[in-house]
Structure 1
Amino acid sequence: MSIEKVLERLEKEKEFKIEELREKKEKEFTDFVTKKEKEFEEWKEQIKRELENRLKKEEETLTSQIKLKYLTESAKIETEVVYNLKSELLKRVKKLSKDKYTDIWRSILLREKINEGSILLTKGEDSLDIETLSKEFNLILREERVEGMGGFIIEKGNVIIDLTLDTILEELVNNNILDIAKILRGEM
């Protein structure tokens, strides 16, 4: 073999090895790029999920805050309306004639089956015909007065019966609070 042939063969081997190495490196590079693209896509999906979860939580938090504010405002308005309702009922009761006002209390005393005891008027009571009711129901009027907008308290032995307007109106509203709430919420 001549030197030229050996050189030629070596040159071919060199070119083959270079081509083989180039193909190997291209494949490694392609695999590396594919792997990194896949990792990048996975990372993007993970970030997207995290952002979606964070946005969902923030949306839920904001929605809850808005609902809480709405419910708080609604409760405040309902409380105000109930207070105004009680005030209006009290005004209307106080505007009744002395006879009608006394008749209402007479019917309450009959319903409660009161036939004796001590009666303590409220500080706000000024419309009741107490003399007539005292005689009719055998009640002894006590001098001291109790807190309240109207009505009275009956003491019969150890039993105290609170018949103040404040208590009666409070019970009336409390007994009908569900219906009042439905009306306020437009459900009736």
Structure 2
Amino acid sequence: MDSIIFLRAFLKNWREVGSPFQTSNHAARKVCDFIDFQKAKTIVEIGPGLGNLTRELLKRLAPDSRLILFEINEDLCAHLRVEDPRVAVFNRSGFDIDSVLDKEADCVISEIPIATMSPSALAGFYSAVKRVLRAGGSCIQLQLSLISHRELKRLFRDVEVFFTFLNVPPIFIYRCSD
């Protein structure tokens, strides 16, 4: 049922959703392996879709930590309502992240389709992300191609790229920090 809901959202607005498929459980676990859940008190997920990665994050999230979700798509956002006091859901663009948070995120995970953004929009988005990251915080970006690699290297001091075939389609995972 989830896959049909997600596919409908993609067909309605493919630029906003980015892929007809959700992040796989394997890719979600791989992303979570990059996060120190003992230290992370605030994790932000932008573009969670129907929450495949969200569910893995919640399995590992400490009881006194919080997970903040930004999903612009109303249909997908309606399915993200979770009865968990650690979770806050915003039906807003990830571009608005700095109107909700201020230098308090340990990790920002973005699943939005950055390859469809102009360089100026991409720079604006990551400027907002950087404004909410604590010192030593990181940004993890899931992406279907390497098209944005050069731009991410320009915006962040350290950019590592990982790849997994165990996602449909296969996916690149960028881990970025300053």
What is the TM-score normalised by the length of structure 1?
A: 0.29
More strand by share: 2
More helix by share: 1
Determine which structure has more spread, i.e. the larger CA radius of gyration. Answer: 1
- Give the structure, 1 or 2, with the largest relative contact order (CA under 8 Å, sep 6 or more): 2
